[in-house]
Amino acid sequence: MPNKVLTLTARPVVQGDVTFYETGIAAADLLNEEQFDVDRWNNSSQRGYQREINDPHTRRIAQYLKGNTEVTNVMPTPIVVNCRGNIRVTPLGEGSVQINLPADEKLYVVDGQHRIEAVHKVNEDNESILEDYEFAVVLTNFSLEQEMIHFKLLNATANRPARGLSQVIGHQLSEMTGVAPVTYTEQQTNAAVGTVIRLAVETDSPLYGKIAIGGIRKRSFHTTVQASVVNALLPMYLTGRFSDTTLKMDATYEYVSNFWKAVEQTWPEAWGNPESSTIQRTIGLTPLAKVMNKIFNNLTINPSYEDYVRILKDIRDIGHVSDEDWATLPNARINSLRHGYSMGRGNTIVADYLWNAVDTKAFVAAE
């Protein structure tokens, strides 16, 4: 579908120092993906901020839009689109304005992507059923950074998105603007998010492709989700050597990546069979991250991959923690340790059990 100049009659709405415009746009125009785009999270580029399409939700909306022969099913809630470029506004009188949007000016769907996708599905069955259907639309005029900030603020309170998506939005904004988050906790969470994203997308990472990042839903090949790994690593960033806000991201990533490579080396069978093992899942990664934090708190130097392997093999051999102990079976040792406890308490019990098997001579050898 070729792009066209959109001429809209709208009503300005002023909120503080922000003006946006209420109008209506035909469903047929909203279907033009070259002109109306959705800035979804892209795992490869690590850019974008919208979540993935939820197909069941889209199908429900599509079924609703088809309506019936007696009643038109209406959708009065407006779709929100943003123009990142310049828009020309001409007063018409009586509180109305005319807005001219050039054909080459892309509009980004901030809220309403499922409604637009539902129209696509309706058209797959009957191309003319929504021919004259018009959606209420709110048009904003923000930069990319402002668009993301307002999306994040609105969704943080009114319609909370997945925590991982909120985290990557904050991380992107920090990179794009060069402005660090305000509080220390936010800064360190941002640093942890950066490390976890790299663990998920860098091919040399032992967790490459295993962590569902940002707006991507957890699938069968994922073993955990971004927010869970960030929570597991965050204590390291809030206390100890990782709490140094001047520490380079490459260094922290190397320390964390080397630890999980050492875990893979120590329990290769469990690591290589995530379907039947807890070691790559949140209930395995979290107590192991606590062990990594203890290693950092007890060594006076930053550990190498070899140091990690030496210490983890102590846990395996002295603590008699075999590959089979990480199995998903209820009576497997790691699962038995946490049985009857809450998730948080269970993770602490497992971490303490693993740590108690560490031979202090390993630290002497490491240093």
Which pLDDT score, from 0 to 100, does residue 158 have?
A: 46
Tell me how far apart the alpha carbons of residues 212 and 164 are, in angstroms, rounded to a whole number: 9
> How many angstroms separate the Cα of 90 from the Cα of each of 9, 101, 103?
10, 12, 18
- Where residue 116 falls (left for φ over 0; alpha for ψ -120 to 50; beta otherwise) is alpha
Which pLDDT score, from 0 to 100, does residue 358 have?
A: 81
Which pLDDT score, from 0 to 100, does residue 103 have?
A: 79
Are 267 and 314 in contact by the 8 Å Cβ rule? The answer is: no
Residues in the chain with pLDDT values less than 50? 158-159
Are 37 and 30 in contact by the 8 Å Cβ rule? The answer is: no
93-108 as b/e, with b when 16 or more CB fall inside 10 Å? eeeebebebeeebbbb
The number of helices, as runs of H, and strands, as runs of E, in the chain is 14, 10
Return the domain boundaries, the chain. 6-149, 163-366
Structure tokens belonging to residue 92: 């018409």
Beta bridge partners, 47, equal 42
Amino acid identity, residue 97? V
Chain segment 45-84, per-residue pLDDT in tens: 778 888 788 888 888 888 888 876 566 788 888 999 999 9
* Half-sphere exposure for 260 (CA within 13 Å, toward CB): 29
Burial of 52 (0-12, 13-18, 19+ CB in 10 A): middle
Which pLDDT score, from 0 to 100, does residue 152 have?
A: 73
Q: For 280, which DSSP code?
A: T
Tell me whether strands 107-111 and 36-37 are parallel, antiparallel or unpaired. Answer: parallel
